[in-house]
Amino acid sequence: MRKMSPKILLVNPDVPANSPWGLSKMLPPLGLAYVAAALEKAGFEVEVFDNYAFKKDASYLKSLVEKHQPEMVGISCNSVTYRQCVEMAKVVKETNPSCKVVVGGPHPSYMPETMLQHPEIDYVVLGEGERAITELAVLAAEKKLESKATRKVAGIAYRHDGKIVKNAPKFIENLDEVPYPARKLLPMHLYDRKFAFLGVDPVDTMNVVRGCPYKCAFCENRRLWGDMCRLFSPARVADEVEHLITSFQTRGIYFVGDNFTINRNWVLKVCELLRKRDLNVEWICDTRVDLVSKELLRAMKQAGCRTIWFGVESGSPRILNKLNKNITLDQVVNAVKLCREEDIKIACSFMLGIPGEKLEDMEATLKFAKQINPDWCRFNIYIACPGSTLYDEVIQKGLYDRMDDFLAYVKTEDFNYEILLKIQQRFHKEFHCSPKRIINQLKRKIIHRK
Ligand code: B12
């Protein structure tokens, strides 16, 4: 089938050089792959360039624009990659001034003005990207981008008559309309497809839940996806798992995103389908401690769930309250106990350096982590990201001593980033190297082998 014009290049920028953000796992840019798939479904010719994986300099993007001659370039952007995103937009416009530049992702969705202050960026997509960029591409194909029709595209921001126009987003009601992410356009060989939490590989990522009704002070995700939880249908989830197995030899899945277990009946149905179709994959998911039960965990284990990643955040009730996390330490203890009973491994993440936090709160976190003794545990230093209520507080009260573009490194009377780094190192050492933990880990391994 002949592809429609405009030809579109989608780009994922790298993280800044020497930043602490490059250290985490190298996973495929799922959001960009969804956007690519939606554009392909509408008939457009799409290329994807993941520079987080390739790590090329600006001249490489220039050569790509010269070679492929795209008429539209879409760039993914979060608050960490903001600067790289703007640099890439400049390279595109310098190489081809008539090419339209569209940016999307978390940062542009919360702070569209910070993107549109750069003349090289023509459009910002707010939130969910699939529908809005496809509508923009259709308008470009019909040469109607500069017409009144642009006003009707939901979920975009752009400059008009010297002002910024923002069209409110409209979420996709039936997520099954969204095609599978176009993983075939990604350099799959460059990603980390082995996970410590699973005994099988290759492992691939899927995102099956969009939106979150909770109001954690440190997270702004509901502004991206809305506060209503939307789910891909259980059949669609099982179909995509099957597609991954046949097309990418996938044996493990990481269901990324918030609250995999938010809808009990949906989880039970997904598990039933995975079992009935005998798909034989192992998987990990992220969820909250107050969203699991014995019945659910049993079904999940039978369907291949091996590890659950819980955001516990703090061992201090005072700080949990400040974070508006709406969980209790008893609920954490209970969730850990239930997972152990069902033989599901537990990974926990905690945060250090919340505004108002004292050293005694952080020590309570370490003590609590040792008490519940998860199989994996991370103590992350809190860096305030735009869009959340806690970020607004940090900025208003000036509770930071370093700012990387929009990311605020929190400081209080008790700590700054350097002190937090030392506390973090000590916590990781104390948690992972205690003799009791090493013996317990060995015991678990032996029991597991039997
Ligand atoms: C999985 C994940 C990761 C993984 C993998 C990231 C990856 N390669 O995609 C890892 C662990 C590596 C990671 C690392 C980090 N992450 Co992260 N991560 C997530 C998580 C949980 C899911 C992302 C995802 O796959 N979503 C599903 C896809 C479908 O959604 P999406 O990517 O947002 O894409 C949609 C829209 O944003 C939009 N869109 C996206 N790109 C584009 C491009 C165009 C052109 C258009 C039109 C639209 C568009 O359309 C897409 C489809 O609808 C989100 C939280 C969440 N629940 O979304 C945080 C999140 C994206 N991460 C975040 C952060 C802060 C980080 C780190 C800085 C954390 C750290 N301490 O190191 C690093 C940065 C790494 C980097 N290179 O940028 C923040 C970003 C906040 C912000 N203001 O920018 C989020 C929102 C979490 C949060 N609530 O704070 N992360």
Domain boundary among 106, 133, 167: 167
Residue nearest to atom 74 of ligand 1 (CA): 21
Provide the token pair at 79: 């608050």
Q: Could you tell which of 54, 80, 323 is best to mutate to test the pocket of ligand 1, judged by most ligand atoms within 8 Å of the CB?
A: 80
User: Rounded distance, CA 323 to CA 314, Å?
Assistant: 9
Instruction: Supply the angle between the helices 329-341 and 294-302 in degrees, to the nearest 10.
Output: 40
On whether residue 178 sits in a domain, the answer given is no
The answer to whether residues 115 and 222 belong to one domain is no
The answer to whether the beta carbons of residues 274 and 303 sit under 8 Å apart is yes
The alpha carbon of 31 and the centre of ligand 1 are apart by a number of angstroms equal to 8
Distance CA 336, CA 308 (A): 10
Q: Does 299 reside within a domain?
A: yes
- Report the interhelical angle of 417-433 vs 435-449 (nearest 10°): 50
Domain, as residue range, for 358: 193-449
Report the relative pairing of strands 4-12 and 44-50 from DSSP bridges.
parallel
**Do residues 356 and 443 both lie within one domain?**
yes
Question: How confident is the model over 162-208, as pLDDT tens digits?
Answer: 999 999 999 999 999 999 999 999 999 999 999 988 989 999 999 99
Q: Do 205 and 58 fall into the same domain?
A: no
- 142 and 266 inside one domain: no
Q: Which residues line ligand 1 (CB under 6 A)?
A: 10, 15, 21, 24-25, 27, 29-32, 34-35, 52, 74-76, 78-81, 102-107, 125, 128-130, 133, 207, 219-221, 224, 256-258, 385-387
Shared domain check, 312 and 217? yes
Let me know whether 257 and 341 are in one domain.
yes
Q: Do the beta carbons of residue 33 and residue 12 sit within 8 Å?
A: no
Q: What is the pTM of this model?
A: 0.94
Domain boundary among 133, 150, 167: 167
Same-domain check for residues 142 and 244: no
Query: Does residue 248 have a pLDDT over 80?
Result: yes
Burial of 360 (0-12, 13-18, 19+ CB in 10 A): exposed
Identify whether 183 is part of a domain. no
pLDDT tens, 36-62? Answer: 999 999 999 999 999 999 999 989 999
Lowest mean pLDDT among 3-7, 57-61, 262-266, 287-291: 3-7
Domain count, the chain: 2
Q: Cα of 278 to ligand 1 centre, how many Å?
A: 31
- Pair (158, 266) in one structural domain: no
In a domain, 27, yes or no: yes
**Residue 210 and residue 343 in one domain:** yes
CATH number for 200: 3.20.20.70
Across residues 249-277, what is the average pLDDT? 95
